């Protein structure tokens, strides 16, 4: 099954007991906005998970702006919401799927495969007259047991190693390990930076803006289109994906896997972690 589901697919299964719908709406700089939107209206049966309170851990000196949550704490939160290891989870947001993809990635990291993203998000769901409500469901607690998959991650030391071995190049063809920067091109080049203290990118990285993996309606492009999009990357290469804080990298991870890449790993701390180390080099132009 695809990693995404359509609105009509979800509508037909809206009240199936083995399913939990998760509202992941969140606005950077307005931390209360997502929950307030959820309380005002949401897809029937949906519960809410907050990007910073639930899907991240507190910010420290290193680890980036959205450090990964403690696996056991997240498992306990999921259990409290009635999510168990047999649950099917459908996540949505209103931010082109980036927060929903964070949950998608985290659940895979915890060893849970039955998780999907609603194409188009909440606004298109509502615009097409699908049902919404302000009723918050009462959930019977379940038991979610985490089975952490450490191979899905890389740390800053691994990124340093890959960066040091990457010669400035116009092409990723033939490289055995590749760094992918998921941010907008202006941020990649260091021409603008509104979120982090330093501008630029990790030396040797290639820029694949995460939104270019999607169609205008918020659905992901087909596997064939994504294969063309990532065509300069070798299928056998180790692909390390990062962004500003490890959130918008997740849609790129999903797109790469949909395109058939199987050795895709996340640098969760991403750019905001990289620049927290004084000795790390910074590039401010395309190699």
Beta bridge partners of 239: 178, 264
- Residue 44 contacts residue 159 (beta carbons within 8 Å): no
Which residues, other chains included, contact 113 with Cβ-Cβ below 8 Å and sequence gap of 6+?
none
* Distance of alpha carbon 165 from alpha carbon 204, whole angstroms: 8
Neighbouring CB atoms inside 10 A of 222's CB total 12
> Can you spell out the DSSP letters for 37-96?
HHHH-BSTT-EE--TTTTSS----SSS-SSPPPPHHHHHHHHHHTT--TT-EEEEE-SST
Q: Tokens standing for 77?
A: 């939160």
Judge residue 120's burial from the number of C-beta atoms within 10 Å of its C-beta, 0-12 exposed, 13-18 middle, 19 or more buried: buried
Report phi then psi at 244, rounded to 5: -80, -45
The one catalytic residue among 49, 243, 256, 283: 243
24 counts as catalytic: no
- Chain-centre distance for alpha carbon 136: 25
Is the C-alpha dihedral spanning 158, 163, 167, 168 positive or negative? positive
Separation in Å, CA 170 to CA 2, 80, 166: 32, 49, 11
- Residue 47 contacts residue 21 (beta carbons within 8 Å): yes
* Distance of alpha carbon 22 from alpha carbon 224, whole angstroms: 29
Radius of gyration over every alpha carbon of the chain, rounded to an integer in angstroms: 19
List, by residue number, the catalytic residues: 243
């Amino acid at each position: 099954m695809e990693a995404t589901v359509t609105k009509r697919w979800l509508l037909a299964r809206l009240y199936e007991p083995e399913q939990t719908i998760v509202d992941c709406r969140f606005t950077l700089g307005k931390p209360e906005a997502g929950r307030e939107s959820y309380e005002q209206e949401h897809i029937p049966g949906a519960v809410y998970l907050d990007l910073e309170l639930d899907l991240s851990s507190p910010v420290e000196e290193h680890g980036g702006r959205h450090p990964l949550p403690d696996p056991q704490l997240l498992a306990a939160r999921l259990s409290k919401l009635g999510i168990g290891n047999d649950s099917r989870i459908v996540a949505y947001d209103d931010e082109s799927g980036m927060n929903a993809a964070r949950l998608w990635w985290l659940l895979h990291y915890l060893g849970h495969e039955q998780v999907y993203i609603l194409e188009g998000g909440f606004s298109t769901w509502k615009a097409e007259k699908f049902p919404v409500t302000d009723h918050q469901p009462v959930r019977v607690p379940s038991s979610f047991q985490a089975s952490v998959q450490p191979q899905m991650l890389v740390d800053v030391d691994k990124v340093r190693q890959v960066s040091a071995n990457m010669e400035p190049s116009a092409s990723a063809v033939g490289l055995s390990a590749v760094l992918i920067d998921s941010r907008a091109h202006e941020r990649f080049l260091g021409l603008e930076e509104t979120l982090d203290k330093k501008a630029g990118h990790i030396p040797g990285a290639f820029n694949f803006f995460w939104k270019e993996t999607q169609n205008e309606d918020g659905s992901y492009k087909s596997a064939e289109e994504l294969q063309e999009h990532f065509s300069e990357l070798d299928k056998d290469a180790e692909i390390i994906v990062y962004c500003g804080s490890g959130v918008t990298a997740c849609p790129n991870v999903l797109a790469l896997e949909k395109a058939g890449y199987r050795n895709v790993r996340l640098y969760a701390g991403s750019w905001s972690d990289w620049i927290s180390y004084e000795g790390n080099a910074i590039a401010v132009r395309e190699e």
